[in-house]
């Protein structure tokens, strides 16, 4: 399917509007992407520009001590001129560090963390930002358990009509224009 769409766009010079929830598909096929959340365009640019707006490559660290003061670590790391942003991933408790040239600057970050006695690094993942990261940044939400829902409360949906009635309340969409 992707080859066919690319052929239409490049060979036939056709402009297509593609609606998808698959970020990899949007990244591969589109030269311009609009992200819509709750009916409003919250981001519009090329895939590359959208990912660059996140602020560099991402270093995700899992710390051995889950109770360490991650805000203190953020303050220390933000003093480095190559660190653009430090966030706490509330879903899994990891520290996300947005940096320039992650592979080059990782040793310096590890040295700094080694000096803070309680910040023992258990694992490190280096990655470039994805369009999924872009959506989460712009929509400013993560998939979490509904607020106020009891642990034992059933979160399953009912039949077709209930799903249909709830569809407009739960769905995010990505509208993408291909040239």
Is the pLDDT at 121 greater than 60, yes or no? yes
Query: Do the domain assignments include residue 114?
Result: yes
Query: Do the domain assignments include residue 163?
Result: no
How much is the average pLDDT of 21-49?
89
Query: Do the domain assignments include residue 161?
Result: no
**Per the structure, how many domains does the chain have?**
2
Contacts of 110 (CB under 8 A, 6+ apart): 121, 124
Long-range contacts of 36-45 (CB under 8 A, 24+ apart): 36/172, 36/173, 36/174, 36/175, 37/135, 37/138, 37/139, 37/172, 38/172, 42/138, 42/139, 43/134, 43/138
How much is the average pLDDT of 69-98?
84
Domain of 112 in residue numbering reads as 55-128
Is the pLDDT at 174 greater than 60, yes or no? no
Which residue did the predictor score with more confidence, 100 or 64?
100
Is the pLDDT at 104 greater than 90, yes or no? yes
How much is the average pLDDT of 40-57?
89
Burial of 15 by CB count in 10 Å (0-12 exposed, 13-18 middle, 19+ buried)? exposed
Domain co-membership, 110 together with 136: no
Domain co-membership, 134 together with 116: no
Domain co-membership, 114 together with 66: yes
> What distance in Å separates the CA atoms of residue 19 and residue 21, rounded to the nearest whole number?
7
Domain co-membership, 42 together with 87: no
> What distance in Å separates the CA atoms of residue 119 and residue 111, rounded to the nearest whole number?
11
Domain co-membership, 49 together with 60: no
Domain co-membership, 75 together with 121: yes
> What distance in Å separates the CA atoms of residue 95 and residue 92, rounded to the nearest whole number?
9
- Confidence category of residue 117, pLDDT binned at 50, 70, 90: low
How much is the average pLDDT of 8-26?
86
> What distance in Å separates the CA atoms of residue 39 and residue 172, rounded to the nearest whole number?
8
Domain co-membership, 26 together with 59: no
Domain co-membership, 39 together with 71: no
pLDDT value of position 55: 81
Query: Do the domain assignments include residue 27?
Result: yes
Query: Do the domain assignments include residue 90?
Result: yes
pLDDT value of position 67: 72
Read off the pLDDT of residues 2-16 as tens digits, 9 standing for 90 and up.
888 888 888 888 888
Is the pLDDT at 45 greater than 50, yes or no? yes
């Amino acid at each position: 399917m992707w080859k066919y769409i690319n052929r239409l766009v490049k060979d036939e010079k056709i402009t297509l509007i593609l609606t998808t929830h698959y970020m990899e598909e949007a990244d591969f096929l589109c030269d311009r992407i609009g992200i819509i959340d709750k009916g409003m365009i919250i981001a519009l640019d090329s895939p590359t520009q959208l990912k660059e707006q996140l602020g560099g490559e991402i270093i995700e660290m899992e710390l051995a001590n889950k109770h360490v003061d991650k805000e203190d670590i953020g303050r220390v790391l933000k003093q480095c001129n190559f660190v653009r942003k430090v966030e706490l991933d509330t879903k899994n408790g990891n520290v996300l560090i947005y940096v320039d040239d992650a592979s080059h600057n990782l040793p310096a970050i590890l040295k700094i963390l080694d000096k803070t006695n309680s910040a023992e690094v258990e694992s490190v993942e280096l990655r470039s930002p994805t369009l999924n990261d872009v959506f989460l940044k712009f929509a400013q939400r993560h998939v979490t358990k509904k607020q106020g829902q009891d642990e034992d409360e059933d979160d399953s949906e009912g039949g077709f009509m209930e799903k249909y009635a709830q569809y407009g309340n739960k769905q995010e969409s990505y509208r993408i224009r291909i040239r």
